[in-house]
Chains A and B, each alone.
Chain A
Amino acid sequence: MYPPPPTLPRAALNAGAAASAPPAPKSSRGPMIRACLLPPAQAIPALRALLLLALVLGASLAGSLARAEESADLRAAIAALAKGSFAETEKRIAALAALGDARAVPALEALAGGDLYRREADGAVFIARSAGGGYRLTEPLSLQDVGTAGRREVKKIRVNNRLRRTIRAALGALTLSASDPARRLAAAKAILKTRDGEAVEALDQALARETDPQVAAVMQAARAAAVLASDRSAEEKSAAIDLLAARGDREAMAIVASIATAGDAPLAAQAKAAVARMERSQALWDVARNIWYGLSLGSVLLLAAIGLAITFGVMGVINMAHGEMVMLGAYTAFMVQGLFGALAPGLIDYALVVALPAAFLVTGLVGIAIERGVIRFLHARPLETLLATWGVSLILQQGVRTLFGPTNREVGSPSFMSGAFELGQLTITYNRLWILVFSLTLFAALIAAMRKTRFGLTIRAVTQNRRMAASMGIRTPLVDALTFGLGSGIAGIAGVALSQIDNVSPNLGQSYIIDSFMVVVFGGVGNLWGTLLGAMSLGIANKFLEPFAGAVLAKILVLVFLILFIQKRPRGLFALKGRAVEA
């Protein structure tokens, strides 16, 4: 028997797990080509932080020439951090923050992280990272690389926990005035988390300048949180509670709830009422969130099952290699992206668009080959077909493993699929949204093809009465092959989409095969609409179970439910009944 595949349950659950993690972990990563150029894993976070800083400060650097004389002050203030006792340093950090110049941020962050060093020779201060036997130095203002230094030439500027807190506060105030709105947003959110009572004034100043409404809203909330933590008047606090209650998210609720238990009597009562209100709206948002995640999971199930709805549902062929068609589609996406990376890196965002027809062709042809080579000889022997196609799936898996290796391949996301937006209290990631839209589009196209085109009519004719269709001049073997090719091709297209949210590995297909069969059977064999409804309702059911049962148990419960359901209604939700099916 097989060695126990340790990745199996994880891979199998991937669809579910990925859907429940709101910020998609993959979307932040660059395309595979860029990923390959990055240095080893442990250096990546640090390097990425620097890159980010460089980007953030890029705009302010451009204008910094005009402020050359200010830079001198700033540089002096930074250099001053290197001298004196902890108490003195604390004062100097405050002084640096008082300058209100966001360019001090990298230096302060490096100081908090223990990466700020003083050169013994001239007392100059640098951000340093160990490289080889010594350090690589970065100028803290310009962020330019200024060469290396030996181990003994530089000395780390030490900080303690008290200083770190001071630095954090200073950073908060500084970043509130950063020119990049994302940076300001992050600063406001940080204050919302720490609930620093001292930050009220800084926030007031920042609010006066703020132009971005989204950032301003978070700053308002942060200010309210800060007010509640400060010793301001009861009226102000009461207004703050109202403001947070109106905001209504989990963070606001936690802040208000802390007042409800610890605050003064009248405030506590107000907070208690506010919490109750917020809990009610929170419950509604939870339902909305579960529905969204459920639809998201449902769209994955739909993608996985939609090709099978043709080959199994319409043709009645048990294709155990269906999952491998999905896998081949994902690998096609990987190949196409590799080609774009090599030939036209500028157009890499369009690689997926090209990968869709490519995958359709590749898997469609493989499907036709399977139908011609194996399945047609096993007509009306479903159990044998099941075994033979299982053999095909083993060969395809091993073939891909031999060609591409057993490890996961990464298919990057185009820029329009990265990121997320907020809808009320829902965080909706673009890749999930795209996949939902894409799966529904694919479904609609398939329905249209089956209903409106001559090919669709021919398929239906052959599946309903093969002999009659043949006698009317339809070449049934050709239709069989093309129909199977269509189902396989659609599985390949689904594979391209799934490459965006799942690991592309030779085992990719295995994790979908049981789910896809379950969806098709649950929806009702031969009924495309049933497949849609089956996928979506199973997705949503799974996500509503997860909060109570956990991801794995939810999955098990859904499987058990399906097993029982099929026994109650062996022909699925929307079964055609009649003599023909019984025969």
Chain B
Amino acid sequence: MPHHAPPTMPGQPDPHRHDTLLYLDGVSVAFDGFQALNNLSMVVARTEMRAVIGPNGAGKTTMMDVITGKTRPDSGTLRFGETIDLTRHDEADIAGFGIGRKFQKPTVFESHTVEDNLALALKGRRGPFAALFHVTGDDERQRIDDLLSLIRLAHLRAAPAGGLSHGQKQWLEIGMLLAQDPQLLLIDEPAAGMTDAETAATAELLRDIARTHSVVVVEHDMAFVRALDVKVTVLHEGSVLAEGSLDHVSANRKVIDVYLGR
């Protein structure tokens, strides 16, 4: 799904588009004097896939922390859909609204089986009493079976997740994300630690997901970003340095300076 949008100027998002899903405007976060995010603005449309790149310390992970409610921004606007102000909610709420997140380091529940990992992620009531009396239904089982075959772990469904390889954990985590059935997926370095074949398969899987979901992918691997073939946002020192197609931003003088050093 190529997305050759004309390059927009950073810092000027358009909040009035009806297909806007995620809207960040002027978001700033500081840790003890270190400005992790500096007046960051970005818009992600429905069913858009966006790649976010940037050198270490550019604020990529902090951006995800802010969107998912882990870190409160010092200032700025953060909206999801038309009405939801994300700054007023915590992680659990935000996950409930339909934002799923995959960590940089694959994080699965190591002592649970692959199947239980997916079962815990399945969309459903999240209260403790609902969980206490929960009985797994046929539709849930069906959904788990589908996901298992999608992430190619059906043969390991009863194995403890801690025993999976690095790449398998990445896939399981993506599967858990899908089980949540979110509107927006935030994916941090999905290709890290994967073989070339796995990387290609992952890119394909993500493109597939983006047909029906919005996806924001943070990645270092330029080959992978190229394989995704989507609009790219370059972060540097907590704000947007450039935005556009990968070719467009790679030609940008400032981007070259940042990546090659001044």
Contacts and interface: CB of A to CB of B under 8 A. Distances in A.
Interface of A: 576-579, 582
B129 interface: no
Contacts of B61: 579
A576 B32 contact: yes
B235 to A, nearest CB: 15
A578 B36 CA distance: 9
Contacts of B70: 582
Nearest to B33: A578
Given A577-B31, A579-B61, 10 more contacts: A576-B32, A577-B32, A578-B31, A578-B32, A578-B34, A579-B31, A579-B36, A579-B62, A579-B65, A582-B70
Nearest to B61: A579
A120 B247 CA distance: 125
Contacts of B32: 576-578
Interface of B: 31-32, 34, 36, 61-62, 65, 70
Contacts of A576: 32
Contacts of A577: 31-32
Contacts of B65: 579
B36 to A, nearest CB: 8
Contacts of A578: 31-32, 34
12 contacts: A576-B32, A577-B31, A577-B32, A578-B31, A578-B32, A578-B34, A579-B31, A579-B36, A579-B61, A579-B62, A579-B65, A582-B70
Contact residues of B: prevailing secondary structure: mixed
List 4 tightest A-B contacts by C-beta distance, closest first.
A578-B31, A577-B31, A578-B32, A577-B32
A579 B62 CA distance: 8
Contacts, number: 12
B82 to A, nearest CB: 31
A579 B57 CA distance: 11
A470 B205 CA distance: 40
A167 to B, nearest CB: 73
Nearest to A580: B31
A579 B65 CA distance: 10
Nearest to A582: B70
A173 to B, nearest CB: 72
A381 to B, nearest CB: 15
A578 B62 CA distance: 10
A576 B30 CA distance: 12
Contacts of B62: 579
B199 to A, nearest CB: 26
Residue among B32, B62, B65, B70 with max Cβ neighbours from chain A (10 Å): B32
A577 B62 CA distance: 13
A304 B70 CA distance: 36
Nearest to A576: B32
A583 to B, nearest CB: 10
Nearest to A578: B31
A570 to B, nearest CB: 15
Contacts of A582: 70
Contacts of B36: 579
Residue among B31, B61, B70 with max Cβ neighbours from chain A (10 Å): B31
A577 B70 CA distance: 13
A577 B65 CA distance: 14
A336 to B, nearest CB: 45
A582 B61 CA distance: 13
A420 B100 CA distance: 68
A175 B65 CA distance: 80
A582 B91 CA distance: 15
A239 to B, nearest CB: 65
B161 to A, nearest CB: 21
Nearest to A581: B31
A560 B34 CA distance: 34
B105 to A, nearest CB: 10
A554 B65 CA distance: 41
A262 to B, nearest CB: 66
Contacts of B34: 578
Nearest to B34: A578
B66 to A, nearest CB: 12
A577 B34 CA distance: 10
Nearest to A575: B32
A314 B32 CA distance: 18
A576 B61 CA distance: 19
A411 B22 CA distance: 70
A527 to B, nearest CB: 12
B115 to A, nearest CB: 29
A579 B32 CA distance: 11
A434 B62 CA distance: 50
Residue among A576, A577, A579 with max Cβ neighbours from chain B (10 Å): A579
A526 to B, nearest CB: 12
A578 B31 CA distance: 5
A273 to B, nearest CB: 56
A548 to B, nearest CB: 38
B187 to A, nearest CB: 19
A580 to B, nearest CB: 9
Nearest to B105: A583
A579 B59 CA distance: 11
A397 to B, nearest CB: 36
Contacts of A579: 31, 36, 61-62, 65
Contacts of B31: 577-579
A576 B31 CA distance: 8
A582 B31 CA distance: 12
A500 B34 CA distance: 46
A355 to B, nearest CB: 41
A573 to B, nearest CB: 14
